[in-house]
Amino acid sequence: MSINVVERIDNRVKVRHILVSVSDKRGLDEFIPPLVQLNPELRIFSTGGTFALIAKMLGTSAGRHLTQVSDYTGQPETQGGLVKTLDFKIYLGLLTETYNAAHQSDLQRTGGVAIDLVVVNLYPFRETIAKAGVSLEQARGNIDIGGPCMIRAAAKNFIRVAPVVDPADYAAIVSELKAHAGSTTLALRFRLAGKAFEHTAAYDRAIADFLGGVAAAEVGKCYKMMTS
């Protein structure tokens, strides 16, 4: 397997396209509107309840800025929202490198865009398993797949993309964007990348610890076994 060796990057990256998909929606009302004010051409991709909340906060301007991920990818969400963001165009937008001609050609070929900032936090797995009487199936249903994938892709590509996993960082990010004409700096993106990987590592650790504490003999008791 060959790995791209990147030689040229930009310190400052203008935030033109963002992807927002969060279970913890605290603080979005103080984060999204300032981003739109900083860049009146900002395009936001979102899903489900996050999309509805952003549409409400943007009001009449929502149609100009906000796009359903399914409309962007051309693929409707699966039943129950099981698959929403696991799509080639999304990950091309997250992982593409600015000075890679092949990546830019792929964006043109697919009608995709480079995504500059990703705001994602994960299904509440730890909160779910902390509840009394939680079933294995309830826990399983709260294992996030698309969220960690997006966070990791954005964090890996910190040379261009800012991954945001913590609402407590919103105010500092807005301040940084205001100080740099709507752009992120390499220092900010690198700091956020480290925090993003800590976030997904802790999430996976919680899942592994929970599953490791369930005896194999107990697993089948949660389900109707159709075959022996």
Predicted local confidence at residue 2, as pLDDT: 73
> Cα–Cα distances in Å, from 93 out to 7, 115, 164?
19, 5, 16
The domain at 12-222 falls in which architecture? 3-Layer(aba) Sandwich (3.40)
Is-contact 28 4, C-beta < 8 A?
no
Separation CA 203–CA 148 (nearest Å): 9
Predicted local confidence at residue 228, as pLDDT: 64
**What pTM does this model have?**
0.91
> Cα–Cα distances in Å, from 217 out to 140, 169, 214, 220, 221?
17, 43, 8, 7, 8
Predicted local confidence at residue 106, as pLDDT: 92
Separation CA 206–CA 214 (nearest Å): 13
pLDDT < 50 positions in the chain = none
The C-alpha angle with vertex 41 and arms to 16 and 37, in degrees rounded to 5, equals 95
> Any idea where the domains of the chain sit in the sequence?
12-222
Predicted local confidence at residue 217, as pLDDT: 82
State the DSSP code for 14: E
Predicted local confidence at residue 220, as pLDDT: 80
